[in-house]
A and B are shown apart, each in its own frame.
Chain A
Amino acid sequence: MARPENATALVTGASKGIGSAIAQALAADGWLVAVNYRNDEAGAKATVDAIEQAGGRAVALAGDIANGAPDELFERAEAELGPVLALVNNAGVRADGLAIQLDDEAWDSVIATNLSAAFRMTRRAMRPMIRARYGRIVNVASVVGPRANVGQANYAAAKAGLIGMTKTVAAEVARRGVTVNAVAPGFIDTDMTKDLPDTVIEAVPARRAGTPDEVGAAVRFLASEDAGYVTGTTLFVDGGMSA
């Protein structure tokens, strides 16, 4: 089935890095894009400007997905652009520490944003999608989760949970033309990874960091009409790290 007119993609945490690249990749593929951000208004506006300069259409939408119901975000995206038929759960946070020293706040905040908020956004997004018989949900997971990463028990649990949620939700709504997939980035060159030691590259068979655009391209595919029969899967974008 062809993508309906004015189909809008809502990308959470899209003010910079991977989220911004995803927003731009989707806009280049014809989606109208709602660029969600929490604090970085300048970054979100820069993402919107980049999309508009490339001939696309986007709006910046402030909203902390970990605090508050998703309804308002969806309603604003629908009012300003069109029906939200793609959701990319990209917003994520880190609060690292060895499990033995990880406090409740560090555990809870990472689960709240990276997993629970993604679930609530997904639940809200599916309502119009199943009515439209068309939808694309892409969850930005990580190689961390499927693989161990010392100091990230909370992050690994959230991202592994996201992959588990992806599979079950995909099975629930597949017959309505709604696909639910995950991408699992490895070591990608962003603000979030800039404090990691260079030795991380040694664990990457490709011997380089990935770029946000390379993750954006994977999401663009999963959100495309060509990927209509791809659901419940996780696409690793990791230079072979998980191979």
Chain B
Amino acid sequence: MAATITPDAVEKTVFDALPQFGVDESAITREATFEELDVDSLDLAELSQIIEDEYGVQLKGDDVGKIKTVGDAVDLVVSRAG
């Protein structure tokens, strides 16, 4: 059963996932870019998978290519849920 999608819940999921890719927790903000955080394309693919498992929202390679910041990722997932 997919979890309920709220902006806060998605933000928590994303913030919790990023340290698995070696991101320093203190650097994670909505404004931080994935480039600054050294999150690469494979990390984003894995993040997409975590989101899909949690919320049932599928992000394609095209979608993921457009997002720049942590906040963009959260907003994209929330907008897909609607």
Contacts and interface: CB of A to CB of B under 8 A. Distances in A.
Interface of A: 127, 130-131, 172-173, 175-176
B49 A127 contact: yes
A82 to B, nearest CB: 18
B42 A175 contact: yes
A176 B43 CA distance: 10
Contacts of B49: 127, 130-131
Interface string B19-39: 000000000000000000000
B42 A131 contact: no
A75 to B, nearest CB: 14
Contacts of B45: 130
Given A130-B49, A131-B46, A131-B49, 10 more contacts: A127-B49, A130-B42, A130-B45, A130-B46, A131-B50, A172-B42, A173-B42, A175-B42, A176-B42, A176-B46
Contacts of A131: 46, 49-50
A214 to B, nearest CB: 35
B23 to A, nearest CB: 15
Contacts of A173: 42
A131 B52 CA distance: 13
13 contacts: A127-B49, A130-B42, A130-B45, A130-B46, A130-B49, A131-B46, A131-B49, A131-B50, A172-B42, A173-B42, A175-B42, A176-B42, A176-B46
B18 to A, nearest CB: 14
A131 B20 CA distance: 10
Nearest to B45: A130
Nearest to A176: B42
B82 to A, nearest CB: 26
A131 B49 CA distance: 9
A116 to B, nearest CB: 19
A237 B4 CA distance: 52
Contacts of A130: 42, 45-46, 49
A61 to B, nearest CB: 23
Interface string B41-67: 010011001100000000000000000
A130 B49 CA distance: 10
